[in-house]
Amino acid sequence: MLEYVYIMTYRQIKRFWRAKSRIAGMIINNILWLLFFGLGWAYTLRGPQFQMLFKGLDYLAFLLPATFATSIFQASFMGGISVIWDKQFGFLKEVLVAPAPRSLTILGRALGDAITSIANGLIMLALGFVLSSKLNPQGLPIAIAIGFVMAIGFTSMGIAIASTMRSPEGFQLIVGTITMPMTLLSGSMFPLNMVPNWMQILALVSPLTYAVDLCRYYLTGVSLLNTVYPWLIQEMEIVLLLATSLILAFIAMKMFEKTTIE
């Protein structure tokens, strides 16, 4: 059974690795974003009054762990587009006509895309360690684990949506309309403590919010979400994140089983 999961993981990673220009583009993108957005705001928000706002962190230490989570989110969600490419370039038929159970091949796919998204996030985080001395390397293993759980969830979400679509353009549109608000609402770039109540509630619906808060907690020791909701302890966040990812993975498996060729 696991061999079917393995082989699709192998394929996704191999493909990712073969696209050197895409990897280079990704790294350059990350560097530029961190430099201009991160350093820009870090210099603007200097001073003790802002440290209060970030519960003792400076802006870079506040931003960097969250960027690890959001970059994994964006990369993994976007990964679903490969299902559409495979539909267009025909490889999907090859997988559908094979005796390997579809739910397992799609799981392998999600796994492969999750791993490549984490690679993406780790590049971002490596830059983070260069830019800031406030990050705690001991929190890295658990941060990666959290990144992995959310990557599985969001890759599955991408795959589930992609299974129903025909054109990459349509998928891109959906990705655009979902990732932007989710990234902003996750509390990755600004703390959620001050935002209007309705926005906080919306933020709580999105699993990315928990992932961002957890990564921040384990890499800097500070959680901002539990100042708003004291009952939201880390264990609770982990359970919520895990549950969402499992549900999304299950939905993706079911949706993909129904995929047909036109």
Task: State yes or no: residue 261 binds other proteins (CB under 8 A).
Answer: yes
Task: State yes or no: residue 76 binds other proteins (CB under 8 A).
Answer: no
Task: Match 């933020």 to its residue by tokens.
Answer: 203
Touching other proteins, residues 98-117 (CB under 8 A): 98-100, 105
In this chain, which of 43, 93, 141, 164 binds other proteins, going by CB under 8 A? 93
Quote the least distance from Cβ 11 to other proteins, whole Å. Answer: 5
Task: State yes or no: residue 95 binds other proteins (CB under 8 A).
Answer: yes
CB 12 within 8 A of CB 85: no
CA distance 93 to 260: 9
Quote the least distance from Cβ 78 to other proteins, whole Å. Answer: 17
Q: How wide is the angle at C-alpha 238 spanned by C-alphas 236 and 244, nearest 5°?
A: 105
**Binding mask of the shown chain, residues 138 to 177, with x at each position contacting other proteins by CB under 8 A:** ----------------------------------------
CA distance 21 to 256: 29
The size of the interface with other proteins (CB under 8 A), counted in residues, is: 25
Q: Containing H/E element for 214? A: helix 207-220
CA distance 101 to 106: 9
The identity of residue 228, as a single letter, is V
In this chain, which of 2, 21, 89, 205 binds other proteins, going by CB under 8 A? 89
In this chain, which of 2, 21, 49, 97 binds other proteins, going by CB under 8 A? 97
| DSSP three-state, residue 28 | helix
Query: Counting beta carbons within 10 angstroms of the beta carbon of residue 91, is it exposed (0 to 12), middle (13 to 18) or buried (19 or more)?
Result: middle
Touching other proteins, residues 183-202 (CB under 8 A): none
In this chain, which of 27, 39, 53, 96 binds other proteins, going by CB under 8 A? 96
Site residues, other proteins (CB under 8 A)? 3-4, 6-7, 10-11, 14-15, 18-19, 89-100, 105, 260-261
